[in-house]
Structure 1
Amino acid sequence: MVITLAAGKKINDSLQTRNILCVLLLLGDILGLLLSFSICLWLRLGQNLNGFDPLIYVFFFLVLTGLYLADTYHPDTQIAGLRAPARILISNFVVAAIIAALIYCSGIWAKDLLLKRGILLPSLGLFTIWAMASRIGAAQWAKSQAQHSRWLILGAGQKAILFGKTFLERSSLGRLIFLTTGEQNTNELTENHRVSVGNLHELTEWSQQAWSGVVVATPTELSDVQMQQLMQLRLSGVSIYGLPDICETLWYKLPSSLLQDNWLAFGAGFNLTADSISQKLKRLVDMILSCCLFVFLSPLMLLAALAIKLDSPGPVFYAQIRTGLEGKPFKVYKFRSMYQDAEKRGVQWADKQDPRITRVGRWLRITRIDELPQILNVLWGEMSLIGPRPERPEFDVKLRQEIPYYDLRYVVKPGITGWAQVMYPYGASVEDAYEKLAYDLYYIKNYSLALDLAIALKTIRVVLLGKGR
């Protein structure tokens, strides 16, 4: 068999491009900070940058953290209608205010020559121009690269079509070419100009072209010849995905409707449920951080309790039965965010504009302060700081009937925050529960301390941007 290695060199993998772009932007920001600081230092004092003052490390850290929290490393996304350049302006303005406050409160201004002559803030202004220009250029480049991306989909069944619709709605990753068996209805596919349809029996001809990736979604087994053609594509540098794998790679989730028992049995991951070392390490981290958070956030929780008491009659805390590890019920504690007797008409989904929520309660939910008493649940071992959110048993009954593999979310301890909470917008329905489960399954399969750290940072971003729920 002849392997066409040249095809792999022509591949423009949009997934790798997206990840590389984030790294390049980060490296560009570090370079931009160095250049901006060096230019301002030379213009103001006629000096070159020799060595690093600890204050400069703090300055760089604040700027880069602000850019991360404002999600500026995904230049093609919008948050509250704001593109990356606008978010950079807001982030750097906040950082400038923090720096000015630190300088004023600490009295460094009169002691440090760099600060006295005005180096940090002018360099931040110069860097802002650099960062905005880099995002505009990166977004245009990523868009032009995506237009040349082409994905080959083997099969056009119901699941393949569902994947195609989601791909076209959520991604700017180029075109889709579906190869069908000839018996499948393709009318629904050809309505979109970014979709083409071919015949699966012509895989030999299609495999000679350059692809960003191949998704195997055919419900029937491929022939030996077709498997050899896929192997040739794989060895030439083209990634081959099943439907669960491509969703995991593209969108960091695992839709349960695409899973099968054999995939779960033989697939990689799910180490948190099998590795006792990971479980013990996670528990140790939970205990240490929970104690620190409880001490550090106690003043905030006292203020929240006082605000609840002054806003509406009723208790400060609210206890509710939730489903925990291995489906065992436990009592979860929250600050009360609804009026007393809010569920006198029975159990209901919480709505985004729920009239049962008090004025203070709405702010508690937006900032997620209402969840802070669950630190006690973590200390008692009923919850983890990070994991799938525990659901109410009354809802579990219905969701278990509607959603495949729903109970998999309870093979780990529930958490105060989780991957679904930082990746999926507000929602309260069966459809929303299905989407959140997809993210929970991704977390369970790919658990690591690095992923927990990413969730913690994204949770801070969610709170600061007012997306709590």
Structure 2
Amino acid sequence: MQMTINLAVGKKAKKLYQTDNILCILLLLGDIVGLLLSLSLSLWLRLEQNLNSFDPLIYLFVFLVLAGLYLGDTYHPDTQIAGLRAPSRVLISNVVVASVIAALIYFSGVWGKDIVLKRGILLPSLGIFTIWAMVSRLWAAKWVRSQAQHSRWLILGADKKAILFGKTFLKHSSLGRLVVLATPEANTSELGESNRVYVGSLNDLPQWSQQSWSGVVVTTPTELSSAEIQQLMQLRLSGVSIYGIPDICETLWQKLPSFLLQDNWLAFGAGFNLTADSINQKLKRLLDIILAWLLFQFLFPLILLVVLAIKLDSPGPVFYTQMRTGLEGKPFKVYKFRSMYQDAEKRGVQWAKERDPRITRVGRWLRLTRIDELPQILNVLWGEMSLIGPRPERPEFDIKLQQEIPYYDLRYVVKPGITGWAQVMYPYGASVEDAYEKLAYDLYYIKNYSLALDLAIVFKTIRVVLLGKGR
């Protein structure tokens, strides 16, 4: 007896994702403990006094250091940023924080007025803690790599989407190894030969199901016998997660590649509450109005400085208007600070690119810090945009992208945003290939929208701006 199985897992927090989150939390708790111990040790060695837990300056110091570590992205110990691993980013972050703290103390004139601010306490404490934090990242990175060596994933079936997923999986060395069980006629040669992938027969599932797995991925659609479905049920009851291909992408990478999606998954999958729940929509709109107005008031002095800098740098208007595609595909006019020379597109519409000669000197800094996007606060107040959502694309590019990218139109079922999940996870977008990647993150945001996700995007946006990852 043959039957088709489509296993879509609705839970957002799967084992691997939980492990990553737990590691981040453990590193954060370790940093807090390390900071308090470092302060206590410095006080005891220098003044033979104990730490006063009621001193507010202690908590300000801890907050500044932790904020610096977050902005330096040190809570992902096995990643590199600009060639720097987490221990190096810890060192740079703490040097910057030490400089900021020293400047604040010097200009405020409070040096020595509190026990924590005495000479030989604060900076030595930060030095001791830096060693603590660097060692903890080295240990965490080693642990992540050791986990990857023991991580194994079972894939049932080898259709086109399964092969695409497998190739993407194998690009990530930290995810472990693959065992692909397929029918004899399946073409698995595209996976290549590697010690991280093994290709076997689907008939061998009874033997493989007796082993331990990080997870099982069932291709959609995959025909399985009732006996094979029983084996999958036993695996799931024993604690092994069973995924469809979109679900495993969502869990591992927090994105949904459109070329791996199918209509039936979109029709029956969980999520997409932002488009269906009018309460969420109204609450999001209310927050947009309040926060956009507060941002406009707070950033008004900066806006005046930017206006002056643009006028002094190059001839032309301060603001730049451009047609973009909005909610439900309706065009609207977006406002930005001008970052290019006049007549920059006299040769037609072009993708932005690295070292773009059309960009002015001031414009390069505006784009790097994303300050050029500030006038879009007006678009938010007028209801054409949201603070957070997919970036609106130009209609000229939309025509091409709709033809080449499946499910591209889904990004317009919500209002476009000034910042979004795609912008903080994949900052660059200057080609069709980049548009594929950005859409994958946009679809994840639309499916998993929540206030908590919006808050995470806000913090990640701050980090992107301060680290100069904009464009």
Note whether the superposition's TM-score is higher than 0.5: yes
Amino acid corresponding to residue 393 of structure 2 in structure 1: E
Residue matched to 1:189: 191
Matched to 1:34, the amino acid is L
User: What is the DSSP-based 3-state SS (H/G/I as helix, E as strand, rest coil) of the residue aligned with 1:440?
Assistant: helix
1:190 Cα shift? 4.4
- The TM-score normalised by the length of structure 2 is 0.95
Q: Distance in 2 between matches of 1:48 and 1:263?
A: 59
Q: Residues 213-269 of structure 1: CA distance to partner in whole angstroms, max 9, x if unpaired?
A: 001115332221111111100000101111000000000001111212221121111
Which of residues 130, 133, 136 is equivalent to 1:134? Answer: 136
Contact 1:389 1:418 in 2 (8 A): yes
**Does residue 336 in structure 1 map to residue 338 in structure 2?**
yes
Answer whether contact 1:388 1:420 (CA < 8 A) is retained: yes
Unaligned runs of 5+ in 2: 1-13
Q: Paired residue for 1:89?
A: 91
1:123-162: per-residue Cα shift (whole Å, max 9, x none)?
A: 1111000000000111011111110111001111221111
Verify: 1:381 aligned to 2:373, yes or no.
no
| DSSP 3-state at the match of 2:333 | strand
- Please give the alpha-carbon distance, in whole angstroms, between the structure 2 residues aligned to 1:441 and 1:190: 30
Shift in Å at residue 105 of structure 1?
2.3
Cα offset for 1:171? Answer: 4.0
Structure 2: how far apart are the matches of 1:146 and 1:56?
38
Tell me what 2:308 maps to: 306
Q: Distance in 1 between matches of 2:164 and 2:234?
A: 28
Task: Determine the C-alpha separation between the residues in 1 that align with 2:147 and 2:116.
Answer: 43
Shift of 1:181: 0.7
CA distance in 2, matches of 1:105, 1:342: 44
Q: Once the 2 structures are TM-superposed, how far is the Cα of residue 23 of structure 1 from its aligned partner?
A: 1.2
Q: Contact 1:76–1:139 at 8 Å: present in 2 too? A: yes
Moved >6 Å (runs of 4+):
none
**1:103-118 aligned within 5 A:** 103-118=105-120
Specify the alignment match of 2:286 in structure 1: 284
- SS for the counterpart of 1:221 is strand
* 2:353 partner letter: D
Whole-angstrom CA distance in 2 between matches of 1:33 and 1:220:
53
**CA contact under 8 A between 2:220 and 2:244: conserved in structure 1?**
no
Per-residue CA shift, 1:100-124, capped at 9, x if unaligned?
1221222222421331244222111
Counterpart in 1 of 2:66?
Answer: 64
Per-residue deviation, residues 324-367 of structure 1 (Å, max 9, x unmatched): 11111111000111111111111111112221111111111111
Q: 1:69: Cα distance to partner?
A: 0.8
Question: Partners of 1:113 and 1:137 in 2: how far apart?
Answer: 33
Q: Report the equivalent of 2:238.
A: 236
Report the AA paired with residue 109 of structure 1. Answer: W
Q: Matches of 2:115 and 2:146 in 1, distance apart?
A: 46
**CA displacement, residues 361-416 of structure 1 (integer Å, 9 cap, x when unaligned):** 11111110110110111111111111000011111111111111111111111100
Cα deviations across residues 273-304 of structure 1 (Å, max 9, x unaligned)? 11112112111211121112111111211111
C-alpha distance in 2, partners of 1:178/1:274? 37
**Structure 1 residue runs without a partner (length 5+):** 1-11
1:42-441 matches, within 5 Å, as 42-217=44-219, 219-441=221-443
Q: 2:7: which partner in 1?
A: none
Q: 1:218 to 1:448 in 2, by over 3 A?
A: closer
| Alpha-carbon distance in structure 2 between the residues aligned to 1:280 and 1:334 | 26
| CA deviation profile, 1:154-210 (whole Å, cap 9, x unmatched) | 111221111111111134111101001111122233422211011111111110000
Name the amino acid aligned to 1:320: Q
Counterparts of 1:342 and 1:54 in 2: how far apart (Å)? 53
Structure 1 Cα separation of the partners of residues 301 and 27 of structure 2:
38
**Partner letter of residue 299 of structure 1?**
P
Contact 2:57 2:116 in 1 (8 A): no
For residue 454 of structure 2, what is the amino acid of its counterpart?
D
* Aligned-partner residue type, residue 193 of structure 2: E
CA distance in structure 1 between the partners assigned to 2:18 and 2:327 by the alignment: 36
Following the alignment from structure 2 to structure 1, what is the Cα–Cα distance between the partners of residues 120 and 105? 11
Contact 2:422 2:438 in 1 (8 A): yes
Distance in 2 separating the partners of 1:155 and 1:247: 16
Question: Once the 2 structures are TM-superposed, how far is the Cα of residue 19 of structure 1 from its aligned partner?
Answer: 2.2
Q: What's the Cα RMSD here?
A: 1.4
Q: CA deviation at 1:13?
A: 5.1
User: 2:137 is aligned with what amino acid?
Assistant: R
1:151–1:215 Cα contact (<8 Å) kept: yes
Q: Contact (CA 8 Å) 1:190, 1:197: kept in 2 or not?
A: no
* Alignment correspondent of 1:458: 460
Percent of residue pairs bearing the same amino acid type: 82
Looking at structure 2, the residues matched to 413 and 147 of structure 1 have their Cα atoms a distance apart, in angstroms, of 42
Q: Label 1:110 to 1:34 Cα distance change in 2 as closer, same or farther (>3 A).
A: closer
Do 1:422 and 1:455's aligned partners in 2 also have CA atoms closer than 8 Å?
A: yes
Q: Residues 156 and 218 of structure 1 are in contact (CA less than 8 Å); yes or no, is this contact kept in structure 2? A: no
Please say if residues 177 and 197 of structure 1, whose CA atoms lie closer than 8 Å, have aligned partners that are also in contact: yes
| Aligned AA (1:260) | Q
Is the CA contact (8 Å cut-off) linking 2:163 and 2:188 kept in structure 1? no
Indicate conservation of the 8 Å contact 1:181/1:200, yes or no. Answer: yes
Q: For residue 229 of structure 1, what is the amino acid of its counterpart?
A: Q
Contact conserved, 1:44 with 1:117, CA < 8 A, in 2?
A: no
Task: State the alpha-carbon separation in 2 of the partners of residues 200 and 318 from structure 1.
Answer: 58
Q: How far does residue 307 in structure 1 lie from its aligned partner after superposition?
A: 1.4
Q: TM-score, normalised by structure 1?
A: 0.95
